[in-house]
Amino acid sequence: MKRPILLSTPHIGEQELQFVQEAFDTNWIAPVGPHIDAFEQEFSQVVGSQYSAAVSSGTAALHLALKLVRVGAGDEVFCSTFTFIASASPITYLGAKPVFIDSDRISWNMDPSLLEDALAKRAKVGKLPKAVLLVHLYGQSADIEPILESCDRYSIPLIEDAAEALGATYKDTSPGTWGRAGIFSFNGNKIITTSGGGMLVSDDAELIEKAKFLATQARDPQPHYEHTEIGFNYRLSNISAGIGRGQLLVLKERVAARQRNFEIYQEALGDLPGIQFMPKTDYGTSTNWLSCLTFEPKIAGIDREQVRLKLLEKQIETRPVWKPMHLQPVFADCECINNGVAEDLFEKGLCLPSGSNLSDEDLERVIFEIKNAYKSQ
Ligand SMILES: *Cc1c(COP(=O)(O)O)cnc(C)c1O
């Protein structure tokens, strides 16, 4: 049996352990400490945001962001449908309801004109959403500018889910830094990891300060424990922040390795009939967090599931692209502004092994087995 090749696994560098050792040596083994402050500052510099708050997950960061733009019970939030559930579930934590917006084929992300039309219709009937939650999927930035213009026209705050897009660019800036707030994730399978963690970024000092307050049980400034509102236990630990500082030092290499995976796959497989790789936009660079492609069964003679199962037999883990939120049973009662793109991508799309620690041999094995799957049809 050959060694399994997995979709995306943690890839630790050389300095993480030193930062963690420092935390041990100084006994900062808590969700406070010098690594947290340093990690936030270093992160802000990397993405070009004014302020950052390190938290326990990307999901927690989104929950705080939505709460801080005052999403509450009975509200609606417009949200990308083509995403992982963690984009949408925090909307429901607040008693609000997602309305899903479909993708375009250029970026696979929220279609700006679909959003504009939906907002215009809602404005007419006086039922605008409380926020727009925009996802930058698989490390590719959505076309942020027109989306932000639409949001501004109706005075609706934009929240960006850049969990998969740390190191991507949009017009030479980082996605996640354009809206009122943005979030990133350091889960084990993301571009860099803290073994679990997230970051909330914003240029609004007050928003970030309030986020830190809410993330530490909303403790009022009193010598005793005084509370005038309900908070959360969402801060990142000083140990995890130490890992994050080490990971930030190798971020560029990690992104370059994932982009290289994509290039190698595309070069080797791009000409096979019926295959299309996730398109590249002309306004930015993707992190290629996962290398994705679609199989058009009528042309390819083989469908996505057949390819996935053949690879699985060979110990190669691949996965269908995200199942759109509006197709999820849990969101069956939610509205979707649907143009069929996300559903089509879900039917045909596959994510290939994409870790920054894959060897050339691993990549060759994946390529070889996909070509084999074609031949065996
Ligand atoms: C991973 C991910 C999240 C959530 O991040 P966690 O740190 O796992 O909570 C949110 N949105 C997207 C698109 C993600 O891929």
* pTM for the predicted model, two decimal places: 0.97
Residue closest via CA to ligand 1's atom 6 equals 58
* CB contact at 8 A, 283 and 289: no
Q: 23: helix, coil or strand? A: helix
Shortest-distance Cα residue to atom 12 of ligand 1: 163
**Ligand 1 pocket: which of 7, 56, 59, 140 to mutate (most atoms within 8 A of CB):** 59
Measured in angstroms, how far is the CA atom of residue 89 from the centroid of ligand 1?
11
Cα 302 to ligand 1 centre (Å): 31
Q: Is 336 helix (H, G, I), strand (E, B) or coil?
A: strand
Ligand 1 centroid–CA 184 distance in Å is: 7
Q: If you measure from the C-alpha of residue 60 to the centroid of ligand 1, how many angstroms do you get, rounded to a whole number?
A: 9
Q: Which of 80, 85, 186, 187 to mutate to test the pocket of ligand 1 (most atoms within 8 A of CB)?
A: 187
Spatial separation of the C-alpha atoms in residues 245 and 26, rounded to whole Å: 16
Cβ-contact 243, 194 below 8 angstroms: yes
Give distance in angstroms: CA of 282 to centre of ligand 1: 25
Which residues make beta-bridge pairs with 97? 76
Q: Report the nearest-CA residue for atom 2 of ligand 1.
A: 163
In order of their start, the domains of the chain are 15-248 (3.40.640.10), 252-375 (3.90.1150.10)
Pocket of ligand 1 (CB under 6 A): 57-59, 83-84, 86-87, 135, 161, 163-164, 185, 187, 198
Query: What's the 163 CA to ligand 1 centre distance in angstroms?
Result: 5
What's the pLDDT score for residue 31? 87
Series of mean pLDDT values for 10-residue runs along the chain (377 residues): 91 94 93 95 98 98 98 98 98 98 98 98 98 98 98 98 98 98 97 97 98 97 96 97 97 98 98 97 98 97 96 97 98 98 98 97 98 87
Closest by alpha carbon to 4, among 366, 306, 373? 366
- Among the atoms of ligand 1, which is closest to the Cα of residue 137? 13
Name the region of 111 (left: φ>0; alpha: ψ -120 to 50; beta: rest): beta
Phi, psi of 163 (to 5 degrees): -55, -35
Q: Ligand 1 atom closest to Cα of 61? A: 9
Atom of ligand 1 nearest to the CA of 189: 1
Question: Which ligand 1 atom is the nearest neighbour of the CA of 83?
Answer: 13
DSSP type of residue 7:
S
Residues 62, 55: Cα–Cα separation, whole Å:
10
Q: How far is the CA of 84 from the centre of ligand 1 (A)?
A: 7
